[in-house]
Amino acid sequence: MLSDAALVGPSAREELARMAPVFREQAGNVAERIIEQIQYTIPEYQRPLEGVFGQAVRDGVEQGVVDFLDRLLGNAPGDDRTDAVFRRLGGFEVAEGRGLEVLHSAFRLAVRVGWKRLAEIGLAAGLQTETMCELAAALFAYVDELSDLSHEGYTAAQRRVAGALERRRKRLLELLVADTPAPRDLLEELASAAAWPLPRRLAVAVVDPPGDDPAAYPDLPGDVLVDLEGDVPCVVLPWREAGGEGGLPAADLRGRNAVVGPPVPVEEAAHSLRWARHLAELRVAGVVAPAAPGAAAEDGTGDADDDVLRADDHLLTLWLLSDPPLARLLSEKAVAPLAGFNVRQRERLAETLLAWIQRRGSAPDIAAQLNIHPQTVRYRMHQLEERYGGRLHDPDKRVWLAAGLLARNLLRKQDAARP
């Protein structure tokens, strides 16, 4: 609310009181002159002042002039109507998609126009220099108060818009990750209302909820959809298309136990979330862990640089453990030829077979990986040749052997983590 303090001292107010009729008579003309100059000078207002916005501008100028004179000449308290008008003007700048600098430019212009007319009247009436100075100071102080009111209205409107936008974005996120895909036209409509360009592809990440500490929220770009208070705290990361290459936003999810699902078409966002959740469960069970910096992922890449777990680095693990009974059957078939050996021998031979398939190297290479003697590798490979025969040299069968042996290792990790 505008301050109730007098705009000028008693001596100046007494002298200005004599000018009250002249000032009030000129109020309408001054308001019209201000509106004309605003429209002429400020590009954003160079349009017919019609409708709700136009009426708000006219109300603001006219109410400001009248309220200033009332307080100047009669020491009247601040008018609640003036507060409402100028807060509303600040809110309109949000609706127009502008900052406050345009409105404040209009305020400065209004001060110049208003002061010019006040000075003309005052000088013609022979007002003392001290009174003229107080009159100028009063005008500038009054406009400062109006600027504060418009700022209050602006920030309040921003909060309302942000709140509405956040609600729309959360609703959009819910539809994207729902088990039943929403129609594309509905997603496009809601994405437009949420000011979120609908991408061709996206990834869903699950993260730990932030708790009660606002500082615990991750540093996320504006094009990321966020819901950290829902049943499944997650964020949706759009896949950016640029120069023929894509990439996810640089969302800082480090230290949040974040698991990022693989990028998928928009219609398959629920799959990205499902795989991210499954991978998060595997991490808790100790089956998988984030790749160390520079370490090679399953696809042979080595670009891991933080503690965020990325499904793209563990697609084979997700596939092999998507159906544990089937993975167990695949594992059993892979080591079935070793049934004649004791448990310890089977473990050593299975380990050597997987290393041989993975590396396809010489005995010294495999020996270095397993930390055993090369002659031991040759002896074990001779035993494996006897048991597996031509399967070791058939490319298709080697793939399935490797899958079965990897599934066996993963299942054993999973079983060991169970209470």
pLDDT tens figures, 168-189 = 898 999 999 998 888 989 999 9
Return the pLDDT at 293: 53
Nearest to 16 by CA among 79, 75, 67: 75
Residues 117 and 52 in one domain: yes
Question: At 218, phi and psi to the nearest 5?
Answer: -70, 160
The rounded distance, in Å, linking the Cα atoms of 108 and 144 is 10
Q: How does residue 136 score in pLDDT terms, banded at 50, 70 and 90?
A: confident
Domain boundary among 268, 298, 320: 320
The rounded distance, in Å, linking the Cα atoms of 149 and 83 is 6
Ranking 127-131, 252-256, 325-329 by mean pLDDT, the lowest is 252-256
DSSP strands (E only) in 253-377: 259-260, 264-265, 309-310
**Measuring CA to CA, how many Å separate 187 from each of 167, 271, 278, 337, 339?**
15, 17, 26, 53, 55
**Residue 393 located in a structural domain:** yes
**Residue 53 located in a structural domain:** yes
Q: What range defines the domain where residue 140 resides?
A: 10-162
Average pLDDT, the chain: 82
Residues 286 and 339 in one domain: no
Residues 332 and 354 in one domain: yes
Strand, helix or coil for residue 7 = coil
Return the pLDDT at 303: 46
Residues 149 and 31 in one domain: yes
Q: Which residue has the higher pLDDT, 381 or 76?
A: 381
Residues 308 and 343 in one domain: no
Conformational region of residue 330, where left means phi above 0, alpha means psi within -120 to 50, and beta covers everything else = alpha
Q: How does residue 352 score in pLDDT terms, banded at 50, 70 and 90?
A: very high
Return the pLDDT at 172: 92
Domain boundary among 271, 293, 320: 320
Residues 251 and 349 in one domain: no
Packing angle between helix 129-177 and helix 269-284, nearest 10 degrees?
80
- For residues 141 and 6, the answer to whether their CB atoms sit within 8 Å is no
Could you say which DSSP state residue 294 is in?
Answer: T
**Residue 131 located in a structural domain:** yes
CATH of the domain at 21: 1.10.490.10
- Position 85 pLDDT exceeds 50: yes
The rounded distance, in Å, linking the Cα atoms of 403 and 398 is 9
**Residue 174 located in a structural domain:** no
Question: At 226, phi and psi to the nearest 5?
Answer: -130, 135
Residues 270 and 154 in one domain: no
High-pLDDT (> 90) share of the chain, % = 27
Ranking 43-52, 86-95, 384-393, 395-404 by mean pLDDT, the lowest is 43-52
For residue 407, the surrounding DSSP H or E stretch is: helix 395-417
- For residues 24 and 12, the answer to whether their CB atoms sit within 8 Å is no
**Residue 354 located in a structural domain:** yes
- Position 404 pLDDT exceeds 90: yes
Give tens-digit pLDDT for 268-318.
Answer: 999 999 999 999 989 888 888 776 555 555 544 444 445 788 998 899 999
The structural domain count of the chain equals 3
What is the rounded average pLDDT of the residues 381-389? 92
Residues 356 and 411 in one domain: yes
Nearest to 277 by CA among 230, 241, 238: 230
DSSP strands (E only) in 78-221: 201-206
- Position 11 pLDDT exceeds 80: no
**Measuring CA to CA, how many Å separate 317 from each of 114, 258, 279?**
75, 17, 9
**Residue 293 located in a structural domain:** yes
Residues 115 and 250 in one domain: no
Residues 62 and 19 in one domain: yes
Residues 239 and 103 in one domain: no
Ranking 130-139, 185-194, 215-224, 349-358 by mean pLDDT, the lowest is 215-224
- For residues 234 and 169, the answer to whether their CB atoms sit within 8 Å is no
Residues 28 and 149 in one domain: yes
pTM: 0.63
Domain boundary among 293, 320, 347: 320
